[in-house]
């Protein structure tokens, strides 16, 4: 195949876009109704009053000499409104003024306006803060007026005006100008620019910002009226050549600011000028420090719309300057908006160009000379200025010649040579200014690529002045690289990219999708393959009255009663395996197989194998192990060669579990009494002992009720158990090295460790003197809105638990503030310690006096017990404001002095405000990957993953298959789980469904793209413990070629 590019150019001498000899767009009557005339140019307003209206083909009426356009606008809430108009003519003949009335019915000659703006002859710009009428509310209507006054006679029939209007909710604009760290460096342009030779000077950045600090250093009082305050930032300009071309342009937010540029000359020793007498030339080296200097204004900038950023205004200056000293001011009268500079960060771009003038015409400026984070979904317009009038090519042929001769184009950066040619972009339009000293080059958004950088290229000898001198495009400051980089916006082909108030691209998703990249289903929709379909809901007969209907995922699913199963689309419509007699299914006669499926790990019977104690005599294991309800005792044996510490911990289980530790002989018979036991009822169980080595054998007995006494259990009951065996010498060595490496309180020189009582006493004494202790302190979290910072607390050095302490440490958290609906305070506390040292635990209490003992009434309402994690405990809970919560760290099990006189632990806690807290909970388990095609999971087209993952309410996994492959996935959860496999053609791949808490996908896949849809139902409790349950997952993908090869090897396998 061959790549090619086609460019089509249509040239025309004009055409009618409206009736009469002057084609034009009619000016709208109102901005809020469908028939008001704003359709097609940005209207109508949305329900909040927002609109961006832009038109450049409005006809100025030449008779009578003064005309008023009136347009009505709805103001349902406080709005910022900017109006801008400019006559599109080289010789302006029209004076433009703006007016605002706070009523819908206006007689301009009789009614006094609320606001007015009368400024420069051919253009006008005004920014207003409009408030709705308290009585009318959202029905408030204002009238805006644009007045045209003809100030000179003309024989032209057609004169046009460019008109822009934008409105935005005040709070949204305030949010867009909040100061966000880090601020750009430098924040403002450099203070001085000097042109000393033929090498031009050029500077540009679109990342400048007026911060409150800059504002404080730059405000002054205008001396002409002595009243109005101005923001002013002054830069010095030195021209050390006979004559120079000077240009400067500043762009700023359309609704945020009203910046101006002013160029002034610095006069030394001249007492007869009419400038700002006595105002020194800050930022400019006047060259005569002993002579009085005065600043004489020369030129004010001209407002314009910014060609490079929609929603921006510009202010530009162009002038030929003789040698001398000048100052360039950035100005803004204060206050001009409800967004004062001293409270917000106002971003702007600024560029300046200085070039020595000679006989050869040259490029004076390119604006913008570069750009970052630009919007690829809007046309890129670049203004280019020349030092001489351009006569060739002619306006009618400049575009076609530029494309044919590749005279102006955007070259992609960081692409191959072949792609560079294919991806280069030619202009879609080139328009000269009427004086032919500048032009605007437009590149269509259709060709711009997101996440791409382009460099603007000029061909030499293309533009010529009227004496046929070629424009030099490489000898001056504009020869610098002009690079434009565009933002990335990926809406997953489910929405459109649009710029928000701050110019950042965001996805506006189709109605059934949501998320930052439109990657999720919107509320009321659920995934079906790659599509989001409207949610369906349970009906009384959905499960044929033989099951529980679940529709929380938007997709109806039935969990059938015991003995019932689903075939096809009819839920619970047949008897399951081992049952008969539908619709009243009963157990089948003896001899019929009954399904049993449980993938919980089994506790080993012997710990001395190589993967366990056989490697180095140490062992630490933690898992939810299978608890066989049909056998009342499970025994685990092991042999020790060295004196060791054993610790066993078991969580409270659905049936009562007791733990025993014995010494046994070689035949497994118990010797003497038990070494340790734990026989509490309905709570955690724990064993803790120091055991002798020298080949002695031991037995851990896990006893629970027999099947006849067992309450109703799931088909796969488990026991959360942690077991650690560590040689005592190894433990003491590790404790000593811990002190030597960290030494938080300067005790390494003692040569002792936590195993020694003297060390513990010294450590405790220095700890008590430490000012960083959190013990006994009260910390306050005050919520005051979106700007509230999280409260973070942590022990700065390890704390101590010793043999005689029960309550080791406590601190209080006061949670205050008026939390809005949907926002909850979250307390997160984590305790870290060494499991082998004993048990240090956590409890969070509210309004209790006895530390949440079992006698406390309403224990589950006022107390949260720490959840066991590896080497620690954690509490994460959504709490209620206006309460004091106390965190207690306590020793839940008596310490063994032979193990350690004391042991270190650390605590950290935080309080934060979270919207929709049900989305907050995270786990120690990884989330399922978004795609299985990353190198982490797939290699050479094959996958084999086995792990515990956290699965939320609904998850999707993408899978791309390049060749015929065999796919298998098994999910086992503590709650209900469902999995489906879809091809991206929309077809459901047949799969095998195994039960409520287990799902299996097993299929042969053709090359293509697939989506795995997993729905997982869990109760959303306020504590994380019940929420964060792992899903045991195994995934395998094997190309058929590999499978066939393995099968062939298997057929010829020999035990030899």
**pLDDT single digits (tens) 65-88:** 788 889 999 999 999 998 888 887
pLDDT in the model for residue 805: 63
* Whole-number average pLDDT of the chain: 79
**854 closest CA partner among 649, 648, 682, 655:** 682
**106 closest CA partner among 66, 81, 73, 139:** 73
Structural contact between residues 407 and 480, judged by C-beta atoms closer than 8 angstroms = no
pLDDT digits (tens, 9 = 90+) for 220-269: 655 444 445 677 889 999 999 988 888 888 888 877 777 889 999 998 76
Mean pLDDT of 678-693: 85
**907 closest CA partner among 827, 795, 742:** 795
For CA atoms 605, 610, 612, 613, the dihedral sign is positive
Name the more confident of 152 and 369. 369
pLDDT at 603 exceeding the cut of 90: no
The token pair that represents 603 in the structure block: 């506790």
pLDDT digits (tens, 9 = 90+) for 713-737: 556 788 888 899 988 888 887 777 7
Within 10 Å of residue 451's Cβ, how many Cβ atoms? 11
Give me the phi and psi of 933, to 5 degrees please: -95, 5
Buried b (16+ CB within 10 A) or exposed e, 409-441: bbbbeeeeeeeeeebbbbbbebebeeebebbbb
Mean pLDDT of 667-671: 90
pLDDT digits (tens, 9 = 90+) for 263-300: 999 987 654 444 444 444 444 443 333 456 788 888 88
pLDDT in the model for residue 286: 36
Mean pLDDT of 354-361: 80
Task: Work out the pLDDT band at 100, boundaries 50, 70, 90.
Answer: very high
Mean pLDDT of 356-385: 83
Beta bridge pairs of residue 1013: 956, 980
pLDDT at 991 exceeding the cut of 60: no
pLDDT digits (tens, 9 = 90+) for 308-327: 444 567 888 888 899 999 99
Name the more confident of 521 and 475. 521
For residue 137, the SS3 value is helix
pLDDT in the model for residue 699: 94
Within 10 Å of residue 211's Cβ, how many Cβ atoms? 18
pLDDT at 513 exceeding the cut of 80: yes
Maximum Cα–Cα distance across the chain: 122
Q: What share of the chain has pLDDT > 70, as a percent?
A: 79
pTM here is 0.45
For CA atoms 741, 744, 749, 753, the dihedral sign is negative
Give the highest mean pLDDT range of 286-295, 645-654, 858-867: 645-654
pLDDT in the model for residue 857: 43
Task: Work out the pLDDT band at 919, boundaries 50, 70, 90.
Answer: low
Tokens 């469904």, located at residue = 993
Residue 263 CA to residue 775 CA, distance in Å, equals 64
pLDDT in the model for residue 98: 92
Q: What share of the chain has pLDDT > 90, as a percent?
A: 12
The token pair that represents 386 in the structure block: 């020349």
For residue 577, the SS3 value is coil
pLDDT at 946 exceeding the cut of 90: no
Residue 567 CA to residue 576 CA, distance in Å, equals 10
Structural contact between residues 38 and 6, judged by C-beta atoms closer than 8 angstroms = no
Mean pLDDT of 974-991: 76
Residue 840 CA to residue 829 CA, distance in Å, equals 14
Name the more confident of 645 and 682. 645
Q: In three state form, how does the secondary structure of 471-531 look?
A: CECCCCHHHCCCEEEECCCCCCCCEEEEECCCCCEEEEECCCEECCCCCEECCCEEEECCE
Which residue blocks in 851-916 are alpha helix, DSSP H?
A: 859-862
pLDDT in the model for residue 273: 43
Structural contact between residues 74 and 141, judged by C-beta atoms closer than 8 angstroms = yes
Residue 141 CA to residue 877 CA, distance in Å, equals 49
Task: Work out the pLDDT band at 194, boundaries 50, 70, 90.
Answer: very high
Q: Give the CA count within 13 Å in the CB-facing half-sphere of 160.
A: 12
Residue 352 CA to residue 248 CA, distance in Å, equals 4
Check residue 425 and report its DSSP letter: B
pLDDT digits (tens, 9 = 90+) for 165-193: 989 888 888 877 877 777 788 888 999 99
pLDDT at 108 exceeding the cut of 70: yes
> In sequence order, which residues have a C-beta less than 8 Å from that of residue 1020 and are 6 or more positions away?
918, 1027
């Amino acid at each position: 195949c061959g790549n090619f590019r086609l460019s089509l150019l249509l040239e025309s001498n004009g055409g009618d876009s409206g009736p009469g000899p002057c084609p034009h767009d009619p000016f709208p009557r109102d901005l809020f109704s469908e028939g008001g005339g704003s359709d097609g140019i940005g209207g109508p307003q949305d329900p909040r009053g927002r609109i961006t209206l832009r038109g450049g083909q409005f006809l100025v009426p030449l008779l009578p000499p003064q005309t008023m356009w009136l347009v009505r606008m709805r103001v349902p809430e406080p709005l910022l409104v900017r109006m801008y108009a400019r006559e599109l003519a080289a010789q302006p003949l029209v004076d433009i003024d703006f007016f605002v009335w706070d009523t819908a019915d206006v007689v301009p000659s009789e009614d006094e306006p609320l606001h007015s703006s009368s400024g420069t002859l051919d253009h006008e710009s005004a920014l207003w803060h409009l408030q709705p009428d308290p009585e009318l509310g959202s029905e408030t209507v204002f009238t805006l007026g644009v007045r045209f006054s003809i100030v000179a006679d003309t024989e032209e029939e057609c004169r046009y005006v460019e008109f822009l209007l934008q409105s935005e909710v005040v709070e949204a604009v305030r949010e867009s100008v909040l100061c966000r760290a880090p601020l750009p460096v430098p924040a403002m342009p450099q203070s001085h620019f000097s042109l000393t030779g033929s090498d031009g000077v050029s500077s540009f950045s679109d990342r400048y910002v007026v911060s409150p600090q800059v504002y404080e250093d730059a405000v002054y009082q205008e001396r002409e009226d002595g009243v109005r305050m101005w923001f002013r930032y002054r830069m010095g300009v030195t021209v050390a050549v006979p004559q120079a071309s000077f240009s400067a342009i500043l762009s700023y937010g359309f609704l945020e600011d009203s910046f101006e540029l002013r160029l002034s000359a610095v006069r030394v020793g001249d007492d007869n000028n009419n400038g700002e007498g006595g105002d020194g030339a800050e930022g400019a080296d006047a060259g005569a420090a002993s002579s009085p200097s005065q600043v004489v204004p020369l030129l004010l900038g001209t407002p314009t719309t910014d060609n490079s950023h929609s929603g921006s205004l510009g202010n530009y200056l162009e002038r030929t300057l003789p040698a001398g000293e000048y100052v360039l001011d950035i100005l803004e009268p204060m206050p001009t908006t409800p967004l004062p500079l001293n409270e917000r960060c106002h971003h702007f771009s600024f560029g300046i160009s200085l070039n020595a003038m000679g006989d050869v015409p040259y490029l004076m400026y390119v604006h913008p000379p570069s750009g970052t984070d630009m919007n690829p979904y809007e046309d890129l317009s670049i203004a280019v200025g020349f030092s001489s009038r351009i006569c060739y090519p002619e306006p009618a042929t400049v575009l076609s010649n530029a494309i044919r001769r590749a005279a102006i184009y955007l070259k992609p950066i960081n692409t191959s040579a072949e792609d560079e040619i294919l991806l280069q972009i030619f202009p879609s339009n080139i328009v000269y200014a009427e004086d032919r000293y500048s032009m605007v080059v437009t590149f269509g958004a259709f060709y711009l690529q997101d996440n791409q950088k382009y460099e603007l290229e000029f061909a030499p000898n293309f533009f010529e002045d009227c004496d046929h001198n070629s424009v030099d495009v490489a000898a001056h400051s504009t020869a610098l690289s002009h690079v434009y980089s565009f933002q990335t916006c990926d809406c997953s082909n489910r929405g459109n990219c649009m710029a928000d108030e701050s110019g950042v691209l965001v996805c506006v998703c189709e109605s059934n999708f949501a998320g930052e990249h439109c990657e999720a289903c919107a509320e009321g929709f659920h995934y079906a393959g790659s599509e989001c379909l409207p949610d369906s809901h349970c009906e009384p007969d959905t499960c044929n009255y033989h099951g529980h209907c679940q529709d929380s995922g938007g997709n109806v699913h039935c969990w059938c009663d015991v003995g019932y199963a689903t075939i096809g689309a009819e839920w619970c419509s047949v008897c399951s395996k081992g049952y008969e007699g539908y619709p009243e299914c009963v157990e089948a006669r003896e001899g019929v197989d009954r399904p049993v499926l449980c993938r919980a790990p089994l506790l080993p019977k012997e710990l001395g194998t190589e993967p366990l104690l056989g490697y180095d005599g140490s062992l630490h294991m933690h898992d939810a192990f299978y608890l066989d309800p049909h056998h009342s005792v499970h025994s685990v044996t092991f042999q020790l060669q060295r004196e060791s510490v054993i610790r066993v911990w078991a969580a409270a289980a659905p049936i009562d579990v007791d733990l025993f530790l014995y010494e046994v002989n070689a035949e497994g018979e118990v010797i003497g009494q038990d070494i340790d036991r734990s026989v509490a009822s309905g709570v955690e169980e724990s064993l803790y002992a120091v055991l002798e080595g020298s080949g002695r054998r031991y037995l851990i007995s896990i006893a629970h009720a027999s099947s006849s006494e067992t309450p109703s259990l799931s088909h796969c009951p488990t026991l959360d158990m942690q077991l650690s065996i560590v040689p005592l010498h190894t433990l003491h060595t590790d404790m000593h090295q811990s002190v030597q490496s960290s030494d938080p309180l300067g005790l390494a020189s003692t040569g002792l460790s936590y195993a020694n009582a003297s060390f513990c006493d010294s450590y405790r004494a220095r700890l008590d003197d430490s000012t960083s202790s959190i013990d006994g302190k009260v910390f306050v979290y005050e919520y005051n809105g979106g700007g509230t910072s999280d409260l973070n607390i942590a022990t700065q050095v390890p704390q101590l638990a010793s043999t005689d302490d029960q309550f080791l440490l406590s601190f209080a958290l006061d949670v205050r503030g008026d939390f809005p609906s949907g926002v909850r305070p979250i307390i997160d506390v984590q305790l870290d310690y060494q499991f082998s040292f004993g048990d240090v635990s956590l409890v969070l209490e509210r309004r209790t006096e006895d530390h949440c003992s079992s006698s406390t009434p309403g224990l589950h309402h006022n107390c949260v017990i720490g959840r066991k994690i590896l080497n620690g405990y954690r509490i994460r809970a959504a709490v209620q404001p206006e309460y004091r919560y106390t965190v207690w760290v306590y020793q839940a099990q008596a310490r063994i002095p032979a193990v350690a006189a004391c042991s270190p632990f650390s605590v950290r806690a935080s309080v934060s405000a979270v919207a929709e807290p049900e989305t907050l909970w995270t786990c120690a388990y990884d989330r399922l990957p978004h795609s299985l095609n990353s190198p982490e999971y797939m290699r050479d087209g094959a996958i084999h993953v086995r792990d515990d993952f956290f699965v939320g309410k609904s998850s999707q996994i993408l899978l791309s298959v390049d060749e015929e492959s065999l796919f298998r996935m098994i999910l086992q959860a503590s709650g209900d789980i469902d999995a489906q496999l879809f091809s991206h053609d929309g077809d459901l791949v047949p799969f095998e469904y195994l039960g409520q808490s287990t799902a299996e996908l097993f299929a042969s896949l053709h090359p293509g793209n697939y989506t795995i849809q997993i729905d997982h139902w869990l109760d959303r409790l306020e504590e994380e413990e019940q929420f964060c349950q792992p899903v045991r997952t195994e995934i395998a993908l094997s190309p058929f070629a590999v499978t066939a090869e393995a099968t062939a090897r298997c057929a010829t396998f020999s035990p030899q």
